[in-house]
């Protein structure tokens, strides 16, 4: 049965990275509990436009939990009060009538605010560019079964590759660490024979770039795994540490 709720929204507004931000209070009424969180924000923005005010800037694209762009910190949790979902998959049935919802951007030195709820996440692209790829000549495209890979390794590589780079791990970490993201991108290649050729260089370069961009250190609190919408395991961080140590020993 479809229900409707009224909400108070505390939304972070910030014109750009240089100016100080602040929370603004808005009221939205008759929000269907079947609507998604982003649809609720669409309704808010339509309301603001009709009132002659500037709409709230927020990131979104696929709205299917694939692209990872809908990066919002909602009531103290990345992607809001639900498990294994992105913000676009969060539905308003998770909230109560009359509730106050606090909506913020990711908070990290590596993700500076562009405007309102939008942050610059190109740091992740720079980390990938530092080594998250296979550049060696592997010849033509082989048949899927031409290179024997143990099923456990293939499964783990696929699990790591499911990371969508949304940044929830960074937002959840008290240190603003990007270790879960980096370790997932290292693991998806380190577990496969194609990725072993450049393994040492990859681990060193990606960790160096992560540190250069201002992300914090990992202290193994596990918050990143809990809040990851794709359930990426912290076991990947242990693998990254092993890969990095081996690379340093080889030097």
For the segment 154-175, the average pLDDT, to the nearest whole number, is: 96
| Domain membership flag for residue 111 | no
φ, ψ of residue 184 to 5 degrees: the values are: -65, -40
Enumerate residues 6+ apart whose C-beta is below 8 A from 6: 27, 28, 29, 30, 31, 97, 98
Q: For the domain that residue 126 is a member of, what is the CATH number?
A: 1.10.1060.10
The pLDDT, as a whole number, for residue 47 is 98
Same domain, 236 and 130: yes
**Domain membership flag for residue 65:** yes
| Whether residues 125 and 67 fall in one domain | no
> For residues 176 and 216, is the Cβ–Cβ distance under 8 A?
yes
The predicted pLDDT at position 138 comes to 60
Evaluate whether residue 112 is within a structural domain.
no
pLDDT score for 2: 73
Q: Measured between alpha carbons, how far is 76 from 145 in angstroms, rounded to an integer?
A: 45
Domain that holds residue 177: 121-137+145-250
pLDDT band (50, 70, 90) for residue 141: low
Q: What does pTM read for this prediction?
A: 0.92
Asked whether the predicted pLDDT for residue 144 surpasses 70, the reply is: no
The CATH number given to whatever domain includes residue 13 is: 3.10.20.30
Determine if residue 102 is left, alpha or beta; phi over 0 gives left, psi from -120 to 50 gives alpha, anything else beta.
beta
User: Mean pLDDT throughout 177-188?
Assistant: 97
List, for residues 48-85, the tens digit of each pLDDT value.
Answer: 999 999 999 999 999 999 999 999 999 999 999 999 99
What mean pLDDT comes out for the span 10-34? 96
d(C-alpha 191, C-alpha 184), whole Å: 11
In a domain? residue 115: no
Give 186-244 pLDDT, tens digit per residue. 999 999 988 888 999 999 999 999 999 999 999 999 999 999 999 999 999 999 999 99
Long-range pairs for 65-69: beta carbons < 8 A, 24 or more residues apart: 65/89, 65/164, 65/229, 66/164, 67/164, 68/164, 68/165, 68/166, 68/167, 68/229, 69/166
- Count: domains in the chain: 2
Tell how far CA 243 is from the center of its chain: 23
Does 109 fall in a domain? no
pLDDT in tens, 98-112: 999 999 999 999 999
Residue 92 sits in the same domain as residue 184: no
Report whether 71 contacts 62 (CB < 8 A): no
């Amino acid at each position: 049965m479809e229900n409707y709720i009224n909400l108070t929204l505390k939304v972070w507004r910030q014109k750009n990275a240089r100016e100080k931000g602040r929370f603004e209070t808005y009221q939205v009424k008759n929000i269907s509990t079947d609507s998604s969180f982003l649809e609720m924000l669409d309704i808010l923005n339509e309301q603001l436009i009709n009132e002659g005010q500037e709409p709230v800037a927020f990131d979104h694209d696929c709205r299917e939990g694939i692209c990872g762009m809908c990066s919002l910190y909602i009531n103290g949790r990345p992607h809001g009060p639900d498990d294994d979902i992105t913000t676009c998959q969060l539905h308003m049935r998770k909230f109560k009538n009359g509730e106050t919802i606090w909506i913020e951007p990711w908070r990290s030195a590596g993700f500076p605010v562009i405007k309102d709820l939008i942050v610059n996440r190109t740091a992740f692209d720079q980390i990938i560019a530092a080594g998250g790829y296979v550049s060696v000549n592997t010849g033509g495209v082989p048949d899927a079964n031409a290179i024997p890979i143990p099923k456990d390794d293939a499964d783990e590589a696929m699990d790591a590759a499911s990371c969508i780079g949304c940044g929830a791990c960074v937002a959840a970490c008290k240190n603003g660490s990007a270790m879960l993201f980096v370790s997932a991108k290292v693991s998806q290649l380190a577990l496969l024979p194609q990725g072993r050729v450049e393994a040492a260089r990859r681990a060193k370069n990606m960790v160096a770039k992560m540190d250069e961009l201002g992300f914090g250190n990992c202290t193994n609190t596990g918050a990143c795994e809990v809040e990851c919408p794709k359930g990426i395991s912290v076991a990947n961080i242990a693998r990254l540490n092993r890969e990095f140590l081996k690379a340093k020993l080889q030097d």
